[in-house]
Amino acid sequence: MLWRKFNGDTIQLPIKDAVEEAIKREAGNGYHLKVCIGTDSQVKGKETEFATVIVFLREGHGGFMFIHNEKTLQRYNIKERMLVEVAKSIEIAYELCDLFTLYDVDMEVHADINTNPQFKSNEALREAMGYILGMGFAFKAKPEAFASSSCANKVVN
């Protein structure tokens, strides 16, 4: 799985090692971190592209993120696509959660799903919320889900 920084630099380490290194560096610089993980997708013709982000927030001092993009020819209806986004976020959250526990870093999983029933993505809200909370992770949906609806949205090509 290829990850990069927002400036385009490729992350050479396995993602778990890169995240641990970032946590240690930021703690060493006196910052308390919170991590938000989210995925967004975009359909272009026959392709669906997913962007998953790990957003590191320094309390009161901005933040930075790691990005992974992935394309597929798989076709999804809107509900399936929303749940695949959530699954991708949970996959990386699960891989990293022991680090967050070890270093006492709060983590949330953000779902790009609207809480307003007038939006099509809302169909997936109950299942996504159950999936995330059932895994023991904190959950945010739109409009609070900035990791998926803003950060990942900006880096899905």
Q: Looking at 4-8, 103-107, 120-124, 146-150, which range is the least confident one?
A: 120-124
With H, G, I as helix, E, B as strand and everything else as coil, classify residue 68: strand
User: 22 in helix, strand or coil?
Assistant: helix
> Is 117's pLDDT higher than 90?
no
Q: Where are the domains positioned within the chain?
A: 4-155
Among the residue ranges 94-98, 116-120, 137-141, the one predicted with the least confidence is 116-120
DSSP per residue over 93-150, as a string?
HHHHHHHHHHTT-EEEEEEEEESSTTSGGGGGHHHHHHHHHHTT-EEEEETT-HIIII
pLDDT at 157 over 80: no
CA dist 102 and 115 (Å) reads: 32
* Choices 3.40.50, 3.90.350, 3.30.420, 3.30.460: CATH for 4-155: 3.30.420
Is the model's pLDDT at 119 over the cut of 90? no
**What would the mean pLDDT of 99-111 be, rounded to a whole number?**
97
Q: What percent of the chain has pLDDT over 70?
A: 100
Query: Residue 151 has which token pair?
Result: 């950060």
Contact in structure between 96 and 3 (CB atoms under 8 Å): no
SS3 label, residue 35 = strand
CA distance 41 to 63: 22
Contacts of 31 (CB under 8 A, 6+ apart): 58, 59, 61
What number is the average pLDDT over the span 37-45?
A: 96
Residue 1 is predicted with a pLDDT of 83
Handedness of CA 142, 85, 66, 23 (dihedral sign): positive
